[in-house]
Structures are given as structure tokens and as C-alpha cells.
Amino acid sequence: IYGLNWSFNIFENLKIYNQIALRSFKFSNGFQLGLNWRNPFKLENSFLNVEWNNSPAGLYSMKQGHQNQSYSHLGHELAHPMGSGFQEYLIRGQFSKGKVFMRFNYNLSNLIEGYNGNEVFEPLDNSLFGIKSDKYRLFLNTNIGLTINKSSNMEISVGHTNRRTNNNQENYLFISWRTYLKNDYFDQ
């Protein structure tokens, strides 16, 4: 697999970025295209990210006879948690004003039927290609909260999570008190 990464700052706080994965022995290319807006509407510690990911089935599978060469680490895919065989659209962001914030992560994934994407140890010849279906995963997560301690990012929040896979749906309402040590607006 060969890859190409690039990004371009359209404005000081608006960046477009792209990643391309190319297979050398099969026409099976994956890509990521995204737009990152830091401090939107002049709100400090805020960001908005829109992204489109496409990874065809078998992108990270190995050739027949090369089962010991896989694109994995400790049995997990290197490039994406879903492996390959999907198209994904996501919108995520955080809007902050003083100590109050709203955080959201919306993700829609269309999966290829009969291929779960986690088969990096299967030879490429054993995989099904190009069989599209209406199998999808939808993940919606929104929360609002208050930052208590900025140095440790201690916060309290309330939120809602909705997960759907085809006809199955799960809803969760939550109240949380946590430290949030991840720096979201530089997560690329």
C-alpha cells in the first residue's frame, strides 16, 4: 500500500485535508477528505470538522501466500477502527463560550454486505468485492456541559447517544462527571 497525505490552509483557521491509500496489485483505493474549522464564529476552544472516508473491501488484505504480512498491529487494523469495506460520513465539533460547551459527533457508515472489514488476516482472494447493500451504522452523540477545572478539563455534562444498525436502535441519556484529557481540535 502506498499513501499520500496533504493539507491546505484556506484561511488561518480553515483547513482542507486529504489522505489517499493506493494498492499496488489491485485497483482498490481508499481516501479521506475533510474540512476542519478551528474557532468557528470566533468562539475560542471550539472546532467543527466534516469528513468523508471511503475504504473499499479488502484494501488492507494481503495477497494469497502472504498470510504473515498483514496491515495490522496486535490483531487490529492500522488505518481505521472499522477496517475496510465502508463509506463513512462524519460531522463532529465543539462550541465553547466561557465555561459552557456543546460537543457533538455524528457518524453515518455504509458497509459492504458479507464483509465486516476486520479480516486483515484473510487472503485477498477469499473476500467478496463490490456487493453493496443497505447495511449501515448511524451514531449520534450530543452533550452540553460546564467546565469545572480548566487545567485538568474536569467537567460535568448531560447528553444523549443514539446508535442504529439497520433495524436495531439504542438510546442512552447520560449525566457525567469526568476529566477530558484529549485535545479534540488537533485530532487529525
Please name the amino acid found at residue 170: E
Q: Which whole number is the average pLDDT over 47-52?
A: 97
User: Please, what is the average pLDDT of the chain?
Assistant: 81
Please name the amino acid found at residue 80: H
List the grid coordinates of 10: 484556506
Strand partners, 149: 154
pLDDT digits (tens, 9 = 90+) for 94-125: 999 999 999 999 999 987 765 555 555 555 55
CA dist 106 and 89 (Å) reads 8
- State how many domains the chain has: 1
Which range of residues forms the domain containing residue 66?
2-186
Q: Quick one: pLDDT at residue 85?
A: 78
pLDDT digits (tens, 9 = 90+) for 50-63: 999 988 877 766 66
Q: Which whole number is the average pLDDT over 136-154?
A: 92
Q: At which residue does the C-alpha cell 463490490 appear?
A: 130
